Amino acid sequence: MQLSTIDPDEQRAWLQLARSRGIGPTHALRLFNRFGSAVEAVAALPRLISTDRWPNCVLCSAGQADRERDAVARSGAHLLVYGDSRLPAALREIADPPVALIVRGSPALLTGEGVAIVGARDASANGCTLASRIAFDLAEAGMTIVSGLARGIDTFAHRGALDGGGTTIAFVGGGADVIYPPENAELTAKIAACGCVISERPLGAIPRARDFPRRNRLISGFAKGVLVVEAALRSGSLITARLAAEQGREVMAVPGSPLDPRHGGTNHLLKQGATLVENAADILSFLRPLSDARMGPDRPIHPSKAESAASRRHFAPGGTATMASPRRQVLTLEEQLLQLIAMEPVAVDELVRQCQASVAHVQEVLLELELDGRIDRHSGNRVSRRAA
């Protein structure tokens, strides 16, 4: 197990800066650069606050920081602060690097080459399948898969990486021990056991809307490149793509039908110069030298091995806090199917698997949708959305 390489007093001071109200990572680093250490920066803050140089700042006390450090240690997680050699070098280089991270899992896994896979929460069945396949094959090739543990594309990217026998890292908006969304409890536990769940926020912190854009800079910052699988024009995934470009990372996108709003963002990225990606080989061909890539462009992609293996596995979440709200609305089978069916044909068997409903029930609802003129049938027992 890797131990902290930083002086305990300096570690405490960094945590105080991270938890002080009105500072943030950028100001914390400015204070560090001005005073030469986090300890000296914290010592100077009361004077700066009293002279109105920092009127909105509320300093986190040493006692508060120590109690949080103790809680992290008791949970089995790790506290990584700026200056700790375990903090990934890629994150130290971004414009607003994190000054304190809580890591569930092994920090030793944070040295791998990362590829971020992100996209829509209300993703289509085809999009989820493709995210899982690409993650599976990248993991087999030794790449670390990075995402945000959200519903949809993120979830399938993490699952594919795990079933490819690789490492996956989840940067989350709430505390590293908070399960969000609630249905990902088992997946979160598996990631913590075989990869890392990472947060800038304290243990037990409930995710807030403003936490996710800040989290996105860590997803893009850790990775060598960001792949957007599906995204609408106003998707949060485009924020991640923009941050990746600003950080000098490769931006990649999967093309899609112009009739499907879920591809509006990815097609826009491609128009702006993003690299077009259809499979894992496309990513490896430019993120790694071809001589080092362990798969060729003609290597068959595993059709659904990653997803089916994930659905058979059960693992205890253990030691985590489940977030009770916001509560997810329970969707009817018709609503689930309309969410999963895109303009590109998708196999009915895949819809049955993802909805976890009986074949007869799915076929019954699909017939109603077809009679209503909302979907089209295709050869090979496939269906697609009908263009408006």
- Domain holding 135, by residue range, is 112-321
- Please report which confidence band the pLDDT of residue 63 belongs to, taking 50, 70 and 90 as the band edges: very high
117 and 180 co-located in one domain: yes
Cβ-count burial of 205 within 10 angstroms (0-12 exposed, 13-18 middle, 19+ buried)? buried
The angle subtended at Cα 283 by Cα 279 and Cα 287, nearest 5°, is 170
Nearest to 241 by CA among 117, 139, 143: 117
158 and 246 co-located in one domain: yes
223 and 345 co-located in one domain: no
Nearest to 220 by CA among 89, 131, 90: 90
Nearest to 157 by CA among 228, 87, 62: 228
Residue range 183-193, pLDDT digits in tens: 999 999 999 99
Domain membership of residue 85 (yes or no) is: yes
State mean pLDDT over 99-103: 98
Please indicate, yes or no, whether the overall pTM of this predicted structure exceeds 0.85. Answer: no
pLDDT at 25 over 80: yes
Q: For the chain, how many structural domains are there in total?
A: 3
Q: How many other β-carbons are positioned within 10 Å of the β-carbon of residue 265?
A: 24
Please measure the distance between the N-terminal and C-terminal CA atoms of the chain and give it in whole angstroms: 57
Which of 267, 293, 321 delimits the end of a domain? Answer: 321
Residue range 229-261, pLDDT digits in tens: 999 998 999 999 999 999 999 999 999 999 889
Residue range 325-370, pLDDT digits in tens: 333 445 788 888 988 998 889 999 889 888 888 888 888 888 788 8
91 and 135 co-located in one domain: no
